[in-house]
Chains A and B, each alone.
Chain A
Amino acid sequence: MLTRRTFFKSSSLGIGSAALASLLAGDAQASTGLPSLPNFPAKAKRVIYLFQHGAPSQLDLFDYKPDLQKLRGAELPDSVRKGQRLTGMTAYQAKFPTAPSLFQFAQHGKSGMWLSELLPHTAKMADDICVIRSMQTEAINHDPAVTFFQTGFQIAGRPSIGAWISYGLGSIGQDLPAFVVMVSQGSGGTQALAERQWGSGFLPTKFQGVKFRSGADPVLFLSDPEGYSGTARRRFLDDLAKMNELKLQDYQDPEIATRISQYEMAYKMQSSVPELADLSKEPESTFAMYGPDSRKPGSYAANCILARRLAERGVRFIQLFHRGWDQHNNLPKEIRGQCRETDQPSAALLQDLKQRGMLDDTLVVWGGEFGRTVYSQGVLTDDNYGRDHHPRCFSLWMAGGGIKGGVTHGETDDFSYNVVRDQVEVFDLHATILHCLGVDHTKLTFKFQGRHFRLTDVHGSVIKDILV
Chain B
Amino acid sequence: MFKTFFKTGALGLALFGSLPAQTDFVRDVQPIFAKSCYGCHGPKREMGGLRLDVKKAALAGGLSGNPIQPKNAAESILYQRVAGIGDQARMPMGGKLDPEQIATIRNWIDQGAVWPDAATVEVTSIKRHWAFIPPQRPVAPAVSNSRWVVNPIDAFILARLDKEGLKPSPEADRVTLLRRVSLDLIGLPPTIAEVDAFLKDKSKNAYEKQVDRLLQSPHYGERWGRHWLDAARYADSDGYEKDKIRQVWAYRDWVIKSFNRDLPYSQFVIEQLAGDLLPNPTQDQLVATGFLRNSMINEEGGVDPEQFRMEAMFDRIDAIGKSVLGVTIQCAQCHNHKFDPLTQEEYYKIFAFLNNSHEANIPVYTPDEQRMRSDLFRRMNEMEADIQHRSPDWQTRMAAWETQVKTGQPEWTVVKPEVDDISNGGQKYIPMKDGSLLAQGYAPTKHKVKMTVKTDVQNITAFRLELLNDPNLPLGGPGRSLKGTGALTEFEVEAAPADAPDKITKVKFSRATADINLPETVLDPMFFDKTDKRRITGPIEFAIDGKDETAWGIDAGPGLRNQPRKAVFTAASPISNPKGTVLIFYLKQNHGGWNSDDNQNHNLGRMRLSITTAANAEADPLPKNVREILLIPAELRKPAQTQTVFGYWRTTVPEWKDANATIAGLWKQHPEGSAQLVMQTREDPRETHILTRGDFLKPAKQVSPGVPSFLNPLPADAPANRLTFARWLVDRQAPTTARALVNRTWQNYFGIGLVSTSEDLGKQSEAPSHPEVLDWLAVEFMERGWSMKAVHRLIVTSATYKQSSKVTPDLYTKDPYNRLLARGPRFRVEGEIVRDIALSASGLLNPKVGGPSVNPPAPEFLFLPPASYGPKVWIEAKGDERYRRALYTFRYRSIPYPMLQVFDAPNGDISCVRRSRSNTPLQALTTLNEPMFLESARALALRTLQEGGKNDEQRIAYAVRRCLSRKPTASETAELTNLLTKETKHFESSDAKPWNLAAADPTKPPALPKGTTPAQLAGWTAVSRVLLNLDETITKE
**CA gap between A455 and B859 in the complex, in Å:** 33
The segment from A88-96, A114-122, A420-428 that touches chain B is A88-96
Asked whether any CB of chain A lies closer than 8 Å to the CB of B794, the reply is no
Partner of A239, one of B757, B921, B1026: B1026
Of A3-11, A62-70, A246-254, A277-285, the one contacting chain B is A246-254
Q: Quick one: which of A91, A243, A323 contacts B972, CB cutoff 8 A? A: A243
**Separation of A190 and B864 alpha carbons in the complex (Å):** 11
Set of chain A residues within 8 Å of B759, measured between Cβ atoms: 449
Measured CB to CB, the closest approach of chain A to B866, in angstroms, equals: 4
Interface 1/0s, chain A 253-264, versus B by CB < 8 A? 111101110110
Q: Which residue of A lies closest to B826 (CB)?
A: A253
When chains A and B are docked, how far (Å) is the Cα of A254 from the Cα of B909? Answer: 32
The answer to whether B298 touches A244, judged by C-beta atoms less than 8 angstroms apart, is no
Given contacts A88-B301, A195-B907, A451-B764, contact A266 B924 (CB under 8 A): yes
Instruction: Contact check, A323 vs B298: say whether CB atoms are below 8 A apart.
Output: no
Give bound CA distance, A450 to B762, whole Å: 8
Contact among B426, B760, B869 for A449, CB-based, below 8 A: B760
Instruction: Determine whether the beta carbon of A259 is less than 8 Å from that of B922.
Output: no
What are the interface flags for A71-104 relative to B under an 8 Å C-beta threshold, 1 for contact and 0 otherwise?
Answer: 0000000000000010111011110000000000
CB distance A16 to B812 under 8 Å? yes
B1022 within 8 A of A: yes
Specify which chain A residues have a CB less than 8 angstroms from the CB of B339 in the assembled complex.
450-451
Considering only residues 783-808 of chain B, those with a C-beta below 8 Å from chain A are: 805-808
Interface pair B922/A251, CB less than 8 Å apart: no
**B975 close to A243 (CB less than 8 A):** yes
Q: In the bound complex, how far is the Cα of B894 from the Cα of A196, in angstroms?
A: 7
B304 within 8 A of partner (CB): yes
**Contact stretch, chosen from A17-25, A286-294, A410-418:** A17-25
Interface residues of A in 377-434 (CB under 8 A from B): 378, 388-389
Q: Provide the bound-state CA to CA distance between A200 and B896, in Å.
A: 14
- What is the distance, in angstroms, from B555's C-beta to the closest C-beta of chain A? 29
Bound-state Cα–Cα, A389 to B1030, Å: 51
How far, in angstroms, from A153 to B953 measured CA to CA in the complex? 58
A206, A228, A255, A265: the one contacting B997 at CB < 8 Å is: A228
**Does the CB pair A265–B924 fall under 8 Å?**
yes
List of B residues within 8 angstroms of A39 by Cβ: none
CA distance A218 to B371 in the complex (A): 51
CA separation between A176 and B902, bound complex, in Å? 16
Q: Distance in Å from the Cβ of A151 to the closest Cβ of chain B?
A: 11
Complexed CA–CA distance, A102 and B139 (Å): 81
B976 → chain A, closest Cβ, in Å?
7
- Number of B positions contacting A (CB below 8 A): 105
List 26 A-B pairs, Cβ < 8 Å.
A18-B810, A18-B813, A19-B812, A88-B303, A91-B304, A93-B421, A143-B240, A143-B300, A192-B240, A194-B240, A196-B907, A205-B916, A206-B916, A206-B918, A213-B861, A220-B926, A221-B929, A223-B929, A225-B996, A227-B997, A228-B997, A236-B1026, A239-B979, A252-B809, A260-B1031, A328-B301
Residues in A neighbouring B760, C-beta threshold 8 A:
449-450
Interface check B133, CB cutoff 8 A: no
Known contacts A240-B1030, A450-B764: A184-B866 contact under CB 8 Å: yes
Which residues of A sit under 8 angstroms from B918, Cβ to Cβ? 204-206
Contact B243 A194 (CB under 8 A): yes
Q: B548 → chain A, closest Cβ, in Å?
A: 22
Contacting pair A156 B909 (CB below 8 A): yes
Q: A227-B996, A449-B764 are in contact. Are A239 and B909 (CB under 8 A)?
A: no
Chain A contacts for B928, CB-based, 8 A: 221, 224, 266
Q: Does A333 sit within 8 A of B, measured CB to CB?
A: no
- A residues 203-235 near B (Cβ < 8 Å) are 204-206, 210, 213, 219-228, 232, 235
User: Distance (Å) between the CB of B5 and the closest chain A CB?
Assistant: 14
Given the interface pairs A16-B810, A221-B928, A243-B1026, the reply to whether A1 lies near B894 with Cβ below 8 Å is: no
| Contact, CB under 8 Å: B302 / A389 | yes
Whether A228 pairs with B996 at a CB distance below 8 angstroms is yes
Chain A residues with CB under 8 Å of B997's CB are 225, 227-228
A27 CB to closest chain B CB, in angstroms? 9
B1037 on the interface (CB 8 Å rule)? yes
> Please, which residues of chain B bring their CB within 8 A of the CB of A225?
929, 934, 996-997
- Partner of B328 from A155, A236, A450 at Cβ < 8 Å: A450
Assuming A205-B904, A206-B920, A225-B997, is B1029 touching A141 (CB within 8 A)? no
B1026 contacts A262, C-beta separation under 8 Å: no
- Residues of B945-971 at the interface with A, using a CB-CB cut-off of 8 Å, are 969, 971
CA distance A224 to B328 in the complex (A): 45
A142 contacts chain B at the CB level, 8 A cutoff: yes
Does B898 sit at the interface, judged by CB under 8 A?
A: yes
- B residues 350-402 in Cβ contact with A at 8 Å: none
What 0/1 pattern do residues 294 to 318 of B give for CB contact below 8 A with A?
A: 0010101111100000010011000
Contacts of A389 in B (CB 8 A): 302
Nearest 9 Cβ contacts at the A-B interface? A450-B764, A16-B809, A87-B302, A92-B421, A192-B869, A192-B241, A266-B924, A265-B921, A194-B894
Nearest B residue (CB) for A228: B997
**A140 contacts chain B at the CB level, 8 A cutoff:** yes
Task: Check: A112 CB closer than 8 A to any chain B CB.
Answer: no
How far is B930's CA from A94's CA once the two chains are assembled, in angstroms? 54
Given contacts A155-B314, A225-B934, A256-B1031, contact A142 B826 (CB under 8 A): no
> What's the minimum C-beta distance from A211 to chain B, rounded to whole angstroms?
8
**Which residues of B lie under 8 Å from residue A254 when comparing CB positions?**
812
Chain B nearest CB: distance from A108 CB in Å? 31
Query: B residues touching A (Cβ–Cβ < 8 Å)?
Result: 1, 63, 239-243, 296, 298, 300-304, 311, 314-315, 328, 331, 338-340, 421-422, 426, 428, 441-442, 697, 757, 759-760, 762-765, 805-810, 812-813, 816, 826-828, 859, 861, 865-870, 893-896, 898, 901-902, 904, 907, 909-910, 916, 918-926, 928-930, 934, 969, 971-972, 975-976, 978-979, 982-983, 986, 992-993, 996-997, 1002, 1022, 1025-1026, 1029-1032, 1035, 1037
Is the CB–CB distance between A244 and B806 below 8 Å?
A: no
CB-CB < 8 A to A246: which residues of B?
A: 969, 971-972, 975
* Residue from A242, A388, A450 with most neighbouring chain B CB atoms (10 Å): A450
Q: Given the complex, which residues of B lie within 8 Å of A28, measured CB to CB?
A: none
Q: Shortest distance in angstroms between B1024's beta carbon and chain A's nearest beta carbon?
A: 12
In the complex, residue of chain B having the shortest beta-carbon distance to the beta carbon of A93: B422
Tell me whether A91 and B421 are in contact (CB under 8 A). Answer: yes
Knowing A22-B816, A254-B812, the reply to whether A388 touches B243 (Cβ < 8 A) is no
CA distance A242 to B982 in the complex (A): 15
- Please determine whether A222 and B1031 come into contact, CB atoms closer than 8 angstroms: no
Expressed in whole angstroms, the Cα–Cα distance for A194 and B893 within the complex equals: 8
Q: Please tell me if A185 contacts chain B, counting CB pairs below 8 Å.
A: yes
- CB of A15 within 8 A of chain B? yes
**Given known A-B contacts A16-B809, A143-B300, A190 and B1032 have beta carbons under 8 A apart:** no
Instruction: Judge if A269 is at the interface, Cβ distance under 8 Å.
Output: yes
- Kindly list chain B residues whose C-beta atoms are within 8 Å of the C-beta of A142: 241, 300
A193 within 8 A of B: yes
A183 within 8 A of B: yes
Across the interface, which residues of A come within 8 angstroms of B894, CB to CB? 192-196
Known: A195-B894, A224-B928; 4 extra A-B contacts, CB below 8 A, are A195-B901, A213-B861, A259-B1031, A450-B763
Query: Which residues does chain A contribute within 8 Å of B764, judged by CB atoms?
Result: 449-451
Known: A252-B807, A253-B826, A449-B760. A155 touches B866 (CB 8 A): no
Contact of A157 with B by CB under 8 A:
yes
A321 to B867, CA, bound (A): 11
Which residues of the partner chain B approach A227 to less than 8 Å between Cβ atoms? 992-993, 996-997
Q: Which residues in A have their C-beta under 8 angstroms from that of B902?
A: 220
Given A87-B302, A89-B302, A190 and B909 contact (CB-CB distance below 8 Å) = no
Most chain B beta-carbon neighbours within 10 Å: one of A93, A255, A258, A266: A266
Name the CB-closest residue of B to A175: B921
Query: Chain A contacts of B1031 at CB under 8 A?
Result: 244, 247, 255-256, 259-260
Q: Which residues of A contact B1025 (CB under 8 A)?
A: 236
